[in-house]
A and B are shown apart, each in its own frame.
Chain A
Amino acid sequence: MSNVPPDLQYTKTHEWVRRLPDGTVEIGITDHAQHALGDLVFVDVPEAGRALKVGDPAAVVESVKAASDVYAPVSGEVTQGNPELAKEPEAVNTDPYGKGWLMRLRPASGGTTAELMSAPEYQKLLQTEAA
């Protein structure tokens, strides 16, 4: 069973969103997503300052068997891409909700947000997908 922390929000495309105290959001891919991808060998994170709209391809995660885009769940400006992932892409596998975060961004005021799910809703999605 995938780990789905209760305090985060989720997208249909298996990203998670964490709201930070300073008003920015942290984004990563879920435990389910990292498991489906397999061992990551490369993570391409966006540059600070890049403006993203909901649904834009924002990062690329590459495993030994596939390369997938990670889509922006929130519109806004990237404040930081996780610099550690260049050296340690496997952090996304070992700690997808912690050290494996991909990017932080400052939501655009009045900007749109993808339809985000709560943890129980995301759990249900995973069960539906599995069935």
Chain B
Amino acid sequence: MAFIPHTPADVEAMLATIGVSSIEQLFDEIPASLRVKSLAGVPVGLNEMQVGRLMSERARIDGRPLCFIGAGAYEHHIPSAVWAITTRGEFYSAYTPYQAEASQGTLQLIYEYQSMIASLTGMDVSNASLYDGASAVAEASLMAVRANRKSKSLRVLVPRTVNPMYRRVAMSTAGNQGLRFEDVPYSPESGLTPVDALKKYEGEDITALVIQQPNFFGQLEDVDALTDWAHSHGIFVIAVVNPTSLALLRPPGEWGTTGKGADIVVGDGQPLGVPLSSGGPYFGFMTTRTEYVRQMPGRIVGRTVDLNGREGFTLTLQAREQHIRRAKATSNICTNQGLLVTAATIYMSLMGAVGLERTAAASHARAKDLVAALSSVKGVRRAFTGPYFHEAVLLFDRPVAPILTALASRGILGGLDLSEIYPELGYALLVCATETKSLSDINSYVTALGDAMQSAVRAA
């Protein structure tokens, strides 16, 4: 189907119909002082050949480093078929076509995606995706305010073990809508959010508690105790999860001992077949229970039958969305990340439940190998006790930044320096390994780290 909008003849005909001589004239009501005549500092356009060359040059600067950075985006093996299928003409479009009469294939794919994500998270319903994990946390907080009718406070507890970038995006997005995001401290021994840290909120009106599993440090939170505490105080549980980990861990739909589970589940879908790509684009996912579906933002595809009883797919529950509810829509972003969801759906189909489980198990095993190998280097030890999934925090006896620079010069991205975000930890590094890292990769890291530690100055 052609998405080319209007020809010059169409434009002329439309202008003639409304009696306007040029498109420019339509903007007459904007005062001249507010019009930007030219964009200073924006260079002239480049053609495809020039852009291709520029991007290849820049990609060469990046090199092909061994990446041990996780912190929200994870390097996984992506079967070649995923993007070979995703970039077929039938799917490959900057615009997700939703028209039921023209887009049954796209709609069915989104429906399958929703079914898979709902099943993975153990929840009833999924939307068609959101922009990324961070904006999904913001949307989940706004949704909790609408759905948790017992609470009027707009207060959302965000443990410091939640991805700090997610917290910042949530504050940017929802802070001006009156929501308050309040820190909850973590235990310095376990790197976990203790229920004891929540006790001081008992008796207060709290709208929601965000629980990230595995948490930002890679540690496994006591999700049952946190969920039970929240529910026993009328507080919504917003789960933030890594989809790969759900192949091994209990889904948020089953958190807690009452069988109620999390109320809203979100996360970043990047680990499901989306390359790191210098930080994006990725996609966010969101699932919930049926009773809250009308408070869920974003598009939802449903399965139905046509007049002749034949199965078909169509957008549903659109009264939540902007084009119908205007200012009262559930979100100002009622769209989805169609292309990345296509890749994720194909990835999940090709991997299957067993493949995803093996990926998760291999990632966990490699991370354990990595942590064991790195903590054998003098001056390096693990920061926290207790189980972790595929990343962990290491403490150094000297500043981390010069060490990372030395590692980078040998083609190794050693991890995320936490000293600015969590200064109280001291010289802390968040490291990650997935199934993409071999034992020889880990050995390269250990050797390079040993050399870097020799030349780096030890803290006084």
Contacts and interface: CB of A to CB of B under 8 A. Distances in A.
Contacts of B150: 47
A66 B324 contact: yes
Contacts of A42: 294, 319
A62 interface: yes
A42 B318 CA distance: 12
A77 interface: no
Task: Report the contact-size class of chain B (Cβ under 8 Å from the partner).
Answer: under 10
A69 B294 contact: no
Interface string B326-354: 00100000000000000000000000000
Given A42-B319, A44-B294, A67 B325 contact: yes
A66 B328 CA distance: 13
B49 to A, nearest CB: 50
Interface string A47-63: 10000000001000010
B439 to A, nearest CB: 56
Among A44, A47, A62, A66, the most chain B Cβ lie within 10 Å of the Cβ of: A62
Among A62, A66, A67, A69, the most chain B Cβ lie within 10 Å of the Cβ of: A67
Contacts of B325: 67
Contacts of A62: 294, 319
Contacts of A44: 294
Nearest to B152: A50
Nearest to A44: B294
Main secondary structure of the interface of B (DSSP, over half): helix
B149 A67 contact: no
Interface string B303-331: 00000000000000001000011001000
Main secondary structure of the interface of A (DSSP, over half): strand
A69 B319 CA distance: 12
Interface in B5-56: none
Contacts of A66: 319, 324
Interface in B201-251: none
Nearest to B294: A42
Contacts of A47: 149-150
A67 B319 CA distance: 6
A42 B324 CA distance: 15
Contacts of B294: 42, 44, 62
Nearest to B149: A47
Contacts of B324: 66-67
Nearest to B329: A67
A102 to B, nearest CB: 16
Nearest to A50: B149
A42 B316 CA distance: 13
Nearest to A61: B319
Nearest to B319: A67
A62 B150 CA distance: 23
A61 to B, nearest CB: 10
Interface string B135-169: 00000000000000110000000000000000000
A62 B330 CA distance: 14
A66 B325 CA distance: 8
14 contacts: A42-B294, A42-B319, A44-B294, A47-B149, A47-B150, A57-B328, A62-B294, A62-B319, A66-B319, A66-B324, A67-B319, A67-B324, A67-B325, A69-B328
Q: Nearest 5 A-B pairs (CB), nearest first?
A: A67-B319, A62-B319, A47-B149, A67-B325, A67-B324
Given A42-B294, A47-B150, A62-B319, 11 more contacts: A42-B319, A44-B294, A47-B149, A57-B328, A62-B294, A66-B319, A66-B324, A67-B319, A67-B324, A67-B325, A69-B328
